[in-house]
């Protein structure tokens, strides 16, 4: 694949996706003035944004889906924010009720207009004789709220990193338009799988992504939900088709959904360092492990890797898990951090102690606080920092953490786990896989 030159990038219009693909996560800001205008919210930039980083710019498909849900189940003066599960939607609802401009103390019914509420959209008209064994649950949990609370809802979307992905929204939007998704009135009700044919995006139309064969023991592919397009497999019919779109659709960028669990396992093995061979998914899972290259940490394996929808989601959920397991204590934000990490520590839990310089003097102060009896949940830092590229003294922090019993969480997104080796010092290592996985800037992920 040819490299993208600086000249080519500068020729991409302001606000357009890089690459020019439906699910790209980068956007063209071709001048310094455009970057400043974007950060300051200037209209001449904001009005041209057709795409953007998913936590800051809600994908057009997600926006359109939210509008249709609000039209059908909301009222005038309301909006919706979409999430992949009720658990995440419930966290958003709690956040809205804490920061809403409205009185949310009274009981709220599922269709109580004007008050923040959740509507779960799940598959309907299930076939009781379905042979689908994939456990596929294409559902959307919509949080509907007054428009005046839009900024509060957007704040949760940005900080948590748990908003619905554009691919999931695209899949579910098509099912919603065709009447297959409808409200579930009992949140505990089991979502049944739907085994009937409907049309959808071509990227989901192939019967199988790996060598044209169905996976043994998996039952019929969920992709049979979508009609096959015969023209799609005929090379001479490709004239006019965007090359990036064709590559994504045809050559395995979108796997059969029945292979999702196996694909996640392969990713975990690559991150753990036990899978280094450049092979296809079935071969990758059959290869023996390579324990001598497992990140040089005794006992470390793929079972210690947890995947999240985004890097910020991994930070958010790490903090939540620590609060639940260690109790309600303040955290420490050490060094000048990526802004959302600081906001997570400030807005969820008892708050945080912020050392913006990340200096040795700051560590002296932290040590004195600990000696005087202050207790902390965890210290969060970046190695190196984003955007200043300053690296904290991890060895000294590790000693303090061991002596005074707080967790050390290191975000190595900028350096990347392939280039910096911080795991021996950290209790938890977090990273945004969005920056490195796929090579095409069109997927999201975190660990």
Mark 54-71 as b/e (b = at least 16 C-beta within 10 Å): bbebbbebbeebbeebbe
Per the model's pLDDT, the better-predicted residue between 346 and 124 turns out to be 346
Q: Is residue 105 pLDDT above 50, yes or no?
A: no
Q: Are 315 and 55 in contact (CB under 8 A)?
A: no
The span from the CA of 288 to the CA of 441, in Å, is: 30
The per-residue pLDDT for 266 is 82
Query: Which tens digit of pLDDT belongs to each residue from 24-79?
Result: 888 888 999 999 998 888 999 888 888 888 888 889 999 999 999 999 999 999 99
Mean pLDDT (the chain, rounded): 77
Strand-pair partners of 378: 407
The per-residue pLDDT for 218 is 36
The per-residue pLDDT for 353 is 95
- Considering only 167-171, 235-239, 303-307, 316-320, which range has the smallest mean pLDDT? 235-239
Q: Is residue 331 pLDDT above 90, yes or no?
A: yes
Nearest to 29 by CA among 47, 16, 42: 16
The span from the CA of 41 to the CA of 242, in Å, is: 32
Q: Are 397 and 426 in contact (CB under 8 A)?
A: no
Classify residue 389 as left (phi > 0), alpha (psi -120 to 50) or beta: left
């Amino acid at each position: 694949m040819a490299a993208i030159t600086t000249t080519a990038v500068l020729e991409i219009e302001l606000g357009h996706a890089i690459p020019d693909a439906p699910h790209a996560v980068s956007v063209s800001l071709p001048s310094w003035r455009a970057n400043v205008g974007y950060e300051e919210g200037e209209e001449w930039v904001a009005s041209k944004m057709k795409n953007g980083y998913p936590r800051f710019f809600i994908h057009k498909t997600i926006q359109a889906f939210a509008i249709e849900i609000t039209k059908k189940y909301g009222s005038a003066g309301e909006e919706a924010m979409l999430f992949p599960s009720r658990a995440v939607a419930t966290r958003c609802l709690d956040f809205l009720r804490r920061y809403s401009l409205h009185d949310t103390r009274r009981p709220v019914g599922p269709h109580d207009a004007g008050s923040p509420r959740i509507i779960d959209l799940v598959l309907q008209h299930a076939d009781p004789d379905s042979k689908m064994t994939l456990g596929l649950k294409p559902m959307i949990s919509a949080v509907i709220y007054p428009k005046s609370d839009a900024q509060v809802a957007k704040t949760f979307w940005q900080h948590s990193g748990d908003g619905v992905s554009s691919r999931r929204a695209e899949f579910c939007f098509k099912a919603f338009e065709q009447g297959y998704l409808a409200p579930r009135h009992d949140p505990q009700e089991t979502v049944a799988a739907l085994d009937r044919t409907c049309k959808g995006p071509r990227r989901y139309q192939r019967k199988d992504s790996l060598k044209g064969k169905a996976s043994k023991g998996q039952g019929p592919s969920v992709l049979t939900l979508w009609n096959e397009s015969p023209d799609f497999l005929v090379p001479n019919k490709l004239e006019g088709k965007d090359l990036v779109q064709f590559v994504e659709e045809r050559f395995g960028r979108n796997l059969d959904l029945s292979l999702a669990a196996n694909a996640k396992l392969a990713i975990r093995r690559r991150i753990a360092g036990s899978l280094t061979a450049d092979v296809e998914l079935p071969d990758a899972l059959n290869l023996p492990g390579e324990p001598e290259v497992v990140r040089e940490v005794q006992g470390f394996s793929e079972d210690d890797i947890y995947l999240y929808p985004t890097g910020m989601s991994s930070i958010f959920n790490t903090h939540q898990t620590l609060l639940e397991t260690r109790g309600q204590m303040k955290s420490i934000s050490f060094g000048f951090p990526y802004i959302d990490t600081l906001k997570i520590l400030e807005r969820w839990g008892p708050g945080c102690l912020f050392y913006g310089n990340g200096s040795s003097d700051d560590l002296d102060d932290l040590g004195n606080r600990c000696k005087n009896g202050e207790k902390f949940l965890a210290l969060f830092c970046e190695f190196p920092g984003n955007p200043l590229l300053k690296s904290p003294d991890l060895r000294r922090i590790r000693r303090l953490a061991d002596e005074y019993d707080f967790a050390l969480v290191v975000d190595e997104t900028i350096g990347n786990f392939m280039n910096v080796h911080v795991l021996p010092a950290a209790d938890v290592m977090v990273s945004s896989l969005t920056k490195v996985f796929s090579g095409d800037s069109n997927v999201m992920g975190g660990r």
